Amino acid sequence: MSLPPAIGAVPHRRHDPLRDEWVLVSSGRTRRPWQGRREEAAAVRPPAYDPTCYLCPGNERAGGVRNPAYRGTWSFENDFAALRPETPPGAWSQGLLRAEAEAGSCRVLCYSPHHDRTLGSLAPAEVRAVVDRWAEESATLGERWPWVQVFENRGPEMGASNPHPHGQIWAGEALPRDAVREDRTQREHRERTGSLLLRDVLDQEAGGPRIVDENDGWVVLVPFWATWPYEILLLPRFPAARLPELSGEQRDALGRIVRALYRRYDALFGRPLPFSFGWHQAPFGRDGAHWLLHAHAFPPLLGPDVRKFMVGYELLSEAQRDLDPETAAERLRAVDPGERAG
Ligand code: H2U
Ligand code: ZN
């Protein structure tokens, strides 16, 4: 479904039903001249093993601990964790000023012992092993913490400290901002309609201009309300609220579509694309019947070397985008990832 020109061809706002917020879409603005900063891709590919990398097998980490000679995936407790399990409960308030102690756990997950790989260049069985680790870590952390956030910051542009293929998992007691919002919008939709919000989105988008890729289990689409230029949403075709619920077949299909997504992203501008990728699963230890498990990816680039800055208007008013989501989806679809997700 495309917007009628009376709206689609003029600056307009689109609603994000998942976060219940708006984005200003002003397509055509990408034609403006750019004399600002240019983002440069790393010129050399990293080596398969880097003796100075704190994530490579057998190397010493910053805290002095030595990594095992791991051969597949491997995870460890973050040495510089933002959340710690032993944090005692505590709360303080004075008038409008409030603070709460927050306990949790932060883990680092290495996808592969090979320093130069990405989820796009690992073998399908190796990507499946990463999917299994996402599920396992989520199940273990979910026994103790309601919110389990699996994510990856990819590329120095996104603050990744190291090219070694890795992601992070942060788990905590409190539901953070996005969890609270997505929990509320999905709950309200289910109460109102009896169906899952993102399932209804998927049904409405099927065969439409914002679909990027799909296989028997999963669909990648550019959401109608995307804020980042090439933002995508990865959705299951089946009901599932959390990663540990996925069956073997669903995990294999997920591995294939994630691998194809990473390849597609890198092929888009012919350079490793920076982005943050992460899962939103229902909070653990409570009812999740209104949730549909999904992943978001947020790449910040508008072109091979031009970044979209979320600054003045975005920080002070609301998100704004220059490239319309349908064009973004068309460009992503047109790219040859080298291999299909199906
Ligand atoms: P990022 O590349 O996304 O920053 O993730 C790397 C994480 O690894 C980061 O959170 C942790 C950092 O705290 N880390 C260790 O736990 N041990 C080290 O020796 C260095 C980095
Ligand atoms: Zn390494």
Mean pLDDT lowest among 41-45, 252-256, 288-292, 333-337: 41-45
pTM: 0.96
Q: Which residue has the tokens 């080298």?
A: 338
Cα separation, 110 vs 125, in Å, equals 15
Cα separation, 148 vs 173, in Å, equals 9
Contact of 196 with 292, CB cutoff 8 Å: yes
In the chain the domains, ranked by start, together with CATH numbers, are: 46-86+98-334 (3.30.428.10)
65 lines ligand 1 (CB under 6 A): no
Is the predicted pLDDT of residue 2 greater than 90, yes or no? no
Mean pLDDT of the chain: 95
Residues with CB under 5 A from ligand 2 (ion): 50, 53, 55-56, 115, 164
* pLDDT given for residue 4 in this prediction: 87
Atom of ligand 1 nearest to the CA of 106: 10
Atom of ligand 1 nearest to the CA of 161: 2
Active site residues: 166
Contact of 233 with 294, CB cutoff 8 Å: yes
238 lines ligand 1 (CB under 6 A): no
Q: What is the DSSP string of 234-300?
A: EEESS--SSGGG--HHHHHHHHHHHHHHHHHHHHHTTSPPPEEEEEE-PPTTS--TT---EEEEE--
pLDDT band at 217 (very low <50, low <70, confident <90, very high): very high
Query: Could you give the percent of the chain with pLDDT greater than 70?
Result: 97
Query: Could you give the percent of the chain with pLDDT greater than 90?
Result: 86
Per-residue pLDDT tens digits for 113-153: 999 999 999 999 999 999 999 999 999 999 999 999 999 99
Q: List 321's β-bridge partners, or say none.
A: 25
pLDDT band at 1 (very low <50, low <70, confident <90, very high): low
60 lines ligand 1 (CB under 6 A): no
More confident residue, 334 or 30: 334
CA distances from 173 to 26, 87, 88, 109, 155 (A): 39, 11, 12, 21, 29
* pLDDT given for residue 143 in this prediction: 98
Per-residue pLDDT tens digits for 159-209: 888 999 999 999 999 999 999 999 999 999 999 999 999 999 999 999 999
Which strand ranges, in their side-by-side order, compose the sheet holding 21-25? 12-16, 21-25, 319-321
Report the nearest-CA residue for atom 15 of ligand 1: 79
Distance 44 CA to ligand 2 centre (A): 15
* pLDDT given for residue 30 in this prediction: 63
Contact of 261 with 218, CB cutoff 8 Å: no
Per-residue pLDDT tens digits for 39-90: 777 767 899 999 999 999 999 999 899 999 999 999 999 999 999 999 999 9
Q: Tokens standing for 197?
A: 């919000």
75 lines ligand 1 (CB under 6 A): no
| Radius of gyration, alpha carbons of the chain | 20
Cα separation, 107 vs 78, in Å, equals 5
Distance 113 CA to ligand 2 centre (A): 7
Is the predicted pLDDT of residue 31 greater than 70, yes or no? no
Report the nearest-CA residue for atom 6 of ligand 1: 161
What does the H/E/C string look like for 212-238?
Answer: EEECCCEEEECCCCCCCCCCEEEEECC
247 lines ligand 1 (CB under 6 A): no
pLDDT band at 29 (very low <50, low <70, confident <90, very high): low
pLDDT band at 240 (very low <50, low <70, confident <90, very high): very high
